[in-house]
Amino acid sequence: MTIGSISPFWRDSAPLILASKSAGRQLALLHSGVPFEAIPADVDERAIESRQEGADADSIASALARAKALAISVRGRLVLGADQVASCEGRIFGKPKDMREAEALLRFLSGRRHRLHSAIALARDGAVIFEAIEFADLTMRDLSDAFVAAYLVAVGDDALSTAGAYQIEGLGAQLFSKIEGDHWTIMGLPLLSLLEALRREGALLS
């Protein structure tokens, strides 16, 4: 299904393909006037991460974004892949694999400052034509055991869908004492860099 198909700014012959099911990324595109078709990429994120052993957080996030964009690449269409990882004190975190891992991650991040690395890759005809990575720094307040338990019950499996086990646009806002960085980057989509790339490609009105 194409979302936001009527836009006075869009100039490409077909809507952007978003290789993600992220509600936050879809909302960012919708509000910025970019029509898109959401086709989540079926890639093995754990396998991609394992092949990046020893790499830094930026490299891992970029590799995931590229893999998603290329997995959905369709002839003649612009495809956007995006991913995000978190880093803190030398450790790198992707999406928690289960609720136990989500709980352990929140306990580790409690009272600490961590960085979100948000990467995007734009592909056309099976080749990546643009990449960008941006970051934001977030300080998590000291969380009580009771709060962590209540939070995980409240958000359920949504805790497994994002790096850091939270969605800042929802109940995840209650986790933090300080946020430094672009809102869209925190949502997993460096939007301004993407819009500029789409303008250079002639897909958006300049």
Distance CA 35, CA 184 (A): 17
List, in sequence order, every residue forming a beta bridge with 113; answer none if it has no partner: 139
Q: Which residues contact 72 (CB under 8 A, 6 or more apart)?
A: 17, 19, 39, 41, 79, 81
Residue of 44, 56, 58, 83 marked catalytic: 83
Catalytic residue status for 42: no
Q: Where on the phi/psi map is residue 156: left (φ > 0), alpha (ψ -120 to 50), or beta? A: left
Catalytic residues: 83
